[in-house]
Structure 1
Amino acid sequence: TLFGKRSFSCSECGKSFSSQSNLKSHQRIHTGEKPFGCVLCGKAFAHKQSLSDHQRVHSGEKPFVCKVCGKCFGKAAHLKTHEIIHTGEKPFSCNVCGKSFNIAQNLARHQLTHTGEKEFRCSICQKSFTRAVTLKTHQLIHTGQKPYSCVSCGKAFRHAVNLKNHERIHTDQRPFSCDLCGKTFRQAVNLKIHKRIHTGEKPFSCKECGKSFSQQSSLISHGRTHSGEKPFGCNYCDKWFNNTNSLKLHQRVHTGERPYNCEYCGKCFSQGSHLRTHKRHVHGGGKQYICDKCGKRYADPRNLKLHKCCYA
């Protein structure tokens, strides 16, 4: 007993519990017993609570709500992990380099970079990965599977996050804004890269010539100018490219794809830069309210009305 309370010990590992039921639940770790099965998909669980959490996948129920931003989650643990975004707390530190992380899983993954350990290996090409989910994502390259499709244009993607980013092309949604110049972006990573324009930060340097870049992908593409490597081939012709963006833009010549739509006249373009140029020259940069006396343009009709007061 501990402080007068009865203690129940596991015969396998010696761990102690305050109740017989907690001990019984724990022992399923050793026996592998999973008595709680999902009636919808057949997946089995060692604990009743784990089954309850899983069933929300089918019901879509998300009862755990963030008090700061209102985002909902199916599991309390996921909410707890999310809340760290708002607090900025990074309680898990690497004992090798001191780098901190907001969740233990990210720390464990990071520590593999020091050991060089890569435990998940692709059975097709033998490439190794530090995460099972990264291996699973990689294997889609071999299968060619693209399970996520855009409802607007039918374009398919290997990853849900790529579909989500693509869909913003159709809506022109740019939720990430630079607090220094106001420029907006579809993806948080693009905002992060953009901010290096203001800071002048270029953390990626070429070992061949010393040239520095603000993003790693630019360094990798640049490195191919030294090696002459052009690994990205067009499926429609024999042209090859040293980066995926150039290949993607080129392939639109063959497919006729024009995913960038002008919200003022409906005209479509193959590149975002062409749409921006069109709006600037044809639609006055989106300023559609024009003074009939001097030709000055305004994006807001109220500003045009105030301007016209000058002539009154």
Structure 2
Amino acid sequence: VGAGDDQDSHLERHQRVHASAEQPCQCTDCGKSFLASNKRRRLLTGTGERPCKCTDCGKSFLWGARARPAPERTHKCSECGKSFSSSSALLTHRRIHTGEKPYKCPECGDRFNQNSALAAHRRIHTGEKPYKCPECGKDFGHGSTLVKHRRIHTGEKPYVCEECGKSFSIRSTHIRHRKTHTGERPYRCPDCGKSFSDSSYFVQHQRLHIGNMPYVCRDCGKHFMWSSALIRHRRIHTGEKPYKCMDCGKNFSENSTLLRHRRIHTGEKFYKCTQCGKSFNDSCSLMRHQRVHTGERPYQCHQCGKSFADSSTLISHQRTHTGERPYACPDCGKSFTESSTLITHHRIHTGEKPYTCSDCGKSFSQSSNLVTHQRIHTGERPYSCAQCGKSFYRSSDLVRHHRTHIRDHRK
């Protein structure tokens, strides 16, 4: 088909809009208009469904015309040897090697190697979410995110780790997980020397050093370093808690928080410290804990020079300089520097005690209080006095005990 023929076919399709026989239809999910003959295609785009599968390569498509054998890959990358079916696909791929990112977001300055990636990114700023989950009604900015989300409902986890057998619903999570076995961390920060297994984590980390916070909440004007942090923050304003625990009915604003919470019910602790044997619910908690042994404090405050073991503690500390207390209690108006402190405080008003001891049934408003209480049953006394060897359930008891030695020394 020549260029002129291709233009004529586009013109013919356009002229159908004006013809009375084929008037535009509107999608009830996203509101976009299209020809009646394309109605099902648009509706499928809104749900993320791809019902047509290629029998040769297994790739799925919205429309049957695309489900044909994959074209020959004649365009080869001179850097890595990977092949592509078109010169434009090769050109896009080569930007991985060159680092070229020609598409710049006018809102925050982030750059992308594809125009489609920029278009998808800009929905973070506009708030546009054209893809709706048919199961729970949740809206998404990207069709691929909807496809991943629907696996929460279906339970599908198609990506399996060959090392340990653990399954994942998202390919990128699977790739990151595999690096925990290999120990690969190819992305190194030139400022603090910290290494990362994933380039996106590396880019996010660098913003801590330069102080770049390009994502702004339209409701309160608060700035964030990461788009995911802005999305989570906006749920404070909307009250949205889309993730529900099937065991106790508690709702959460983040899926990761739900996953960690569920381990309270299951007792799972996958991640074990090789230094002291202590186990943790997630890899991030283990990583933070290991800094107790190494003494590593990679996050430094630019105001006073104080260093911290994790970024969240640095962010909270910086509020002591700015005086910012963004989390206000709706009942008494008291403000807090951290959302977790507000959540714990709010239980004073609600009387909620979600953490229950499996041995005696006693309930607590904070998980740390439950952990301390359980030592009564286990007999564990992890805090020992270096001077006399006496052990205690709580660190606060050890601090008080230390004072007896100080008083004795003064006498």
TM-score (norm 1): 0.62
Superposed CA deviations along residues 89-141 of structure 1, whole A, max 9, x for unmatched, are 55555566665544444444455555555444333333444454443233223
Match in the other structure for 1:47: 86
Q: 2:179 aligned to 140, 146, 152, which one?
A: 140
The corresponding residue for 1:168 is 207
The DSSP-based 3-state class of the residue aligned with 1:39 is: coil
CA deviation string 1:133-191 (max 9, x = no partner): 44323322322222222212222222222222333333344444445555544333334
The correspondence for 2:165, drawn from 100, 111, 126, is 126
Distance change >3 Å, CA 33–CA 68, structure 1 → 2: same
* Whole-angstrom distance in 2 between the partners of 1:223 and 1:104: 28
Counterpart of 1:157 in structure 2 is 196
Structure-2 residue corresponding to 1:293:
none
Alpha carbons 1:147, 1:157 under 8 Å: kept: yes
C-alpha distance 42-116 of structure 1, shift in aligned 2 (>3 A): same
CA contact (8 A) 1:258 1:268 kept: yes
SS at match of 2:176: helix
Please show how residues 182-197 of structure 1 align to structure 2 within 5 Å: 183-197=222-236
Return the alpha-carbon distance in structure 2 between the equivalents of residues 153 and 270 of structure 1. 12
| Matched residue, 1:255 | 294
The whole-number CA distance in structure 2 between the counterparts of 1:95 and 1:199 is 21
Distance of 1:31 and 1:168 partners within structure 2: 41
Question: Which amino acid in structure 2 is aligned with residue 193 of structure 1?
Answer: R
With over 3 angstroms needed to count, the CA separation of the structure-2 counterparts of 1:86 and 1:146, relative to structure 1, is: same
Alignment check: 8 A CA contact 1:269 1:275 kept? no
RMSD (Å), alpha carbons: 4.3
- Judge conservation of contact 1:177–1:183 (CA < 8 Å) in 2: yes
- How many residue pairs match? The answer is 262
1:193–1:48: structure 2 CA closer, same or farther, 3 Å change rule? Answer: closer
1:187-228 Cα offsets, whole Å, 9 max, x none, are 333344344445555444444444444434444434444444
CA separation of 1:273 and 1:60: change in aligned 2, threshold 3 A: closer
The question of whether the paired residues in 2 share the 8 Å contact of 1:241 and 1:247 is answered with yes
Separation in structure 2 between the aligned mates of residue 99 and residue 163 of structure 1, nearest angstrom: 30
Unaligned segments of structure 2, at least 5 residues: 7-67, 325-411
The 3 A distance-change label for structure 1 pair 199 and 136 is closer
Separation (CA, whole Å) in 1 of partners of 2:134 and 2:254: 27
**If the length of structure 2 is used for normalisation, what is the TM-score?**
0.50
Which one-letter code corresponds to 1:165 in the other structure?
Q
Please, which moves more after superposition, 102-111 or 155-164?
A: 102-111
**Partner of 1:145: helix, strand, or coil?**
coil
Instruction: State the alpha-carbon separation in 2 of the partners of residues 139 and 118 from structure 1.
Output: 15
**C-alpha displacement of 1:254:** 1.3
AA partner of residue 167 (structure 1): Q
Distance 1:220 1:49, change over 3 A: closer
Classify 1:241/1:284 alpha carbon distance in 2 versus 1 (closer, same or farther; 3 Å). same
Paired residues of 2:108 and 2:214 also in contact (CA < 8 A): no
2:73 pairs with 1:34: yes
State the secondary structure of the residue aligned to 1:153. Answer: coil
Give the match for residue 236 of structure 1: 275
Question: Whole-Å Cα distance in 2 between the matches of residues 264 and 215 of structure 1?
Answer: 31
Alpha-carbon distance between aligned partners in 2 of 1:218 and 1:30, rounded to the nearest angstrom: 42
Q: Percent identity among equivalent residues?
A: 44
* Alignment check: 8 A CA contact 2:300 2:314 kept: no
Residue matched to 1:14: none
- Tell me whether 1:269 sits opposite 2:302 in the alignment: no
